[in-house]
Amino acid sequence: MRFLLIEDNVELGRAIVERLSLDGHVVDQAESLADARDHCATADYDLILLDIMLPDGDGRTFLAEHRARENATPVIVLTARSEVSDRVGVLDLGADDYIVKPFDFAEFEARCRAVLRRRGGVAGNRVTRGDLTFDTLAGTLHVGGDDIQLRNRELRLFEIFVNSPGQIFSKSKLVDRLFSYDEDVSENAIEVYVGRLRKHLTRSSANIVTVRGLGYKLEV
């Protein structure tokens, strides 16, 4: 998954990026509203993490603009304000959740997972598609009576497919979602990871199929 972190605190931003990267996510960081707008103009994100107090304005302005454009990308607000009125205010502006700083990283990660599940229309960590079950928290596929442990890139790639079965993803779009700007990778890397996932799915009725000239999709 690709996240946009809008946070001007260098130390906190570095800690968040490192923590999410360990889970296999790609995180772009913006330290101002202007940088955030530039990022959103050039990339699609699965989740936005938004600080309120930024050098060039109020994060709530960005949130209002984001929803005014009917952009459905979920937003978690990071705020030092714990008053009920502040929390209600950001939720009414269109935030999907908020977390008060300082926060525990285990809770932070859990809130990210919960928001992403809701976006995919999934209630829990386990997603069933046909005869396979995917556990997003444990990173496992249950196929044909076996549990298969996925590596980070495989996990994040399959997460994209399983959350949108039937949707076609081009190789370039998948590269965007899986790799950061400073990683020098080609679209051939996607073929490698898709090949690995297909091997895991050989005993399942679900499969990742190639749509010639367009990309890949999960068929159940």
Res 182: pLDDT: 77
Greater confidence, 186 or 18?
Answer: 18
Residue 209 has pLDDT above 70, yes or no: yes
Average pLDDT of the chain, as a whole number? 91
Res 196: pLDDT: 95
The model carries a pTM of 0.80
Tens of pLDDT, residues 61-104: 999 999 999 888 999 999 887 788 888 999 999 999 999 999 99
CA gap 152, 215 in Å, rounded: 21
**Other residues' Cβ atoms within 10 Å of the Cβ of residue 37:** 14
Is domain 126-219 in CATH 1.10.10.10, yes or no? yes
Tens of pLDDT, residues 45-59: 999 999 999 999 999
Residue 4 has pLDDT above 70, yes or no: yes
Cβ atoms 48, 55 nearer than 8 A: no
Give domain limits for the chain: 2-119, 126-219
- Tokens representing residue 128 in the block: 């069933």
- Residue 186 pLDDT grade (very low, low, confident, very high; cuts 50, 70, 90): confident
Q: What fold is seen in the domain 2-119?
A: Rossmann fold (3.40.50)
- Tokens representing residue 215 in the block: 């990309």
Cβ atoms 47, 27 nearer than 8 A: no
pLDDT (mean) for 124-143: 87
pLDDT (mean) for 16-33: 93
Res 26: pLDDT: 92
Strands 57-58 and 140-143: unpaired
Greater confidence, 168 or 138?
Answer: 168
